[in-house]
């Protein structure tokens, strides 16, 4: 292929990646090492009580933001190095908590609390998504042809629903006197409050993620099952291999590249979990790294946003994603080198 033809195909995508991925990433990295603050000035303010003869006036000094000629608050940006990262991670307090073995104190720090939930959520839902998706794919693949179409349609419905809407739907089924909560109360004879403690909310959030994402894995695995070598399967049957042995030694090795692909997509997506925290309103019990970044960007009572800490939190989230992806990327690279020889 000529270079001009190659550039014509790759150039537009490369330009868009530079504009919408590389440039924002560099901007966030720059902001994570800087601190932007509003300038304040001390102003004498005179306040008087209503009245004509008995009017009393008091003069007090107040700190007010400096307003520029354009009507906006004047801000200054200074280089602070790793200060934003230190304020997010709080290494001093975290180190003391680890040295004492005080897990409660460690998880009282927002970053470590968010990191604990994010890692647990990601690593527990990953095998469930792959397992449920593979189970659905095998079931549909072995079903009669006349019911495969409806089965595929029904299986894809959870993946079509918007994440926030799906999370709210699951929440409404269990919150308060929701339908499923009422059924469990009538069956057990006890009062059940699914949203009164963190662990039940966390289970519901994981259930929703598996319910929502497993159809994506199902589609990938179902397509891969159509390319399994039937001669190899027939040979395994003739040799007396059981269903489990055929699955383990024939089907799973054939689907392994697709399993790695689904794992890569799920790790990148679930580590940035955000919709579940908003949909289930779990901020009081469970927060994620992505939600923590959102919280830093939310203006406080004075209208200020912690952009530096939000940028640092975003960069730490990205570093975590890269660390989780390294084993899968190394495996993919080894498989690529093996097939290219």
What is the CATH number for 156? 1.10.3720.10
The yes-or-no verdict on residue 172 having pLDDT over 80 is yes
Does a structural domain hold residue 14? no
Does a structural domain hold residue 131? yes
Confidence band of 1 (pLDDT split at 50, 70, 90): low
Q: pLDDT (tens digit, 9 = 90+) per residue, 142-157?
A: 888 888 888 888 888 8
Does a structural domain hold residue 334? yes
pLDDT of the residue at 133: 94
pLDDT of the residue at 293: 93
Does a structural domain hold residue 333? yes
CA nearest neighbour of 209 among 139, 152, 265, 261: 265
Q: pLDDT (tens digit, 9 = 90+) per residue, 87-96?
A: 999 999 999 9
Alpha helices in 189-297 (DSSP H): 198-225, 230-238, 243-246, 252-270, 275-279, 289-297
- DSSP, res 55: -
Does a structural domain hold residue 125? yes
Q: Which two tokens stand for residue 304?
A: 């200020």
CA distances from 74 to 37, 44, 301, 311 (A): 9, 19, 18, 21
Q: What percent of the chain has pLDDT over 70?
A: 96
The yes-or-no verdict on residue 22 having pLDDT over 70 is yes
Q: pLDDT (tens digit, 9 = 90+) per residue, 249-283?
A: 889 999 999 999 999 999 999 998 998 999 898 88
Q: Which two tokens stand for residue 123?
A: 């690593």
Q: pLDDT (tens digit, 9 = 90+) per residue, 55-74?
A: 677 777 777 777 877 777 77
Domain with 107, as residue range(s), is 103-340
The yes-or-no verdict on residue 292 having pLDDT over 90 is yes
Taking residues 73-89, report their average pLDDT: 88
Does a structural domain hold residue 311? yes
Q: pLDDT (tens digit, 9 = 90+) per residue, 86-127?
A: 999 999 999 999 999 888 899 999 999 999 999 999 999 999
Confidence band of 40 (pLDDT split at 50, 70, 90): confident
Alpha helices in 163-197 (DSSP H): 163-174, 179-188
- Total domains present in the chain: 1
Does a structural domain hold residue 276? yes
């Amino acid at each position: 292929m000529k270079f001009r033809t190659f550039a014509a195909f790759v150039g537009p995508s490369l330009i868009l990646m530079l504009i919408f991925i590389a440039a924002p990433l560099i901007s966030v990295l720059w902001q994570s090492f800087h601190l932007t603050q509003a300038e304040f000035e001390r102003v004498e303010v005179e306040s008087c009580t209503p009245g004509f003869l008995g009017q009393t006036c008091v003069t007090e000094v107040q700190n007010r933001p400096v307003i520029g000629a354009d009507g906006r608050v004047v801000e200054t940006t200074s280089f602070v190095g790793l200060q934003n990262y230190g304020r997010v991670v709080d290494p001093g307090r975290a180190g003391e908590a680890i040295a004492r073995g005080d897990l409660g104190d460690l998880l009282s720090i927002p970053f470590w609390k968010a990191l604990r939930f994010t890692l647990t959520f990601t690593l527990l839902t990953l095998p469930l998504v792959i397992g449920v998706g593979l189970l659905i794919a095998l079931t549909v693949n072995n079903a009669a042809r006349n019911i495969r179409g409806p089965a595929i349609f029904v299986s894809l419905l959870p993946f079509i629903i918007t994440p926030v809407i799906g999370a709210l739907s699951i929440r409404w089924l269990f919150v308060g006197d929701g339908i499923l909560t009422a059924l469990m109360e009538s069956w057990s004879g006890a009062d059940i409050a699914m949203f009164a403690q963190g662990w039940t909310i966390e289970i519901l959030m994981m259930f929703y993620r598996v319910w929502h994402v497993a159809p994506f894995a199902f589609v990938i695995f179902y397509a891969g099952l159509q390319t399994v070598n039937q001669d190899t399967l027939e040979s395994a049957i003739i040799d007396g291999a059981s269903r489990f042995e055929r699955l383990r030694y024939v089907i799973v090795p054939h689907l392994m590249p697709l399993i790695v692909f689904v794992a890569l997509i799920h790790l990148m997506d679930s580590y940035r979990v955000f919709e579940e925290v908003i949909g289930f309103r779990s901020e009081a019990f469970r927060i994620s790294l992505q939600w923590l970044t959102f919280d830093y960007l939310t203006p406080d009572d004075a209208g200020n946003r912690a952009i530096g800490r939000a940028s640092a939190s975003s960069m730490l989230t990205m570093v975590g994603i890269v660390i989780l992806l390294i084993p899968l990327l190394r495996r993919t690279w080894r498989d690529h080198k093996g097939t290219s020889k």
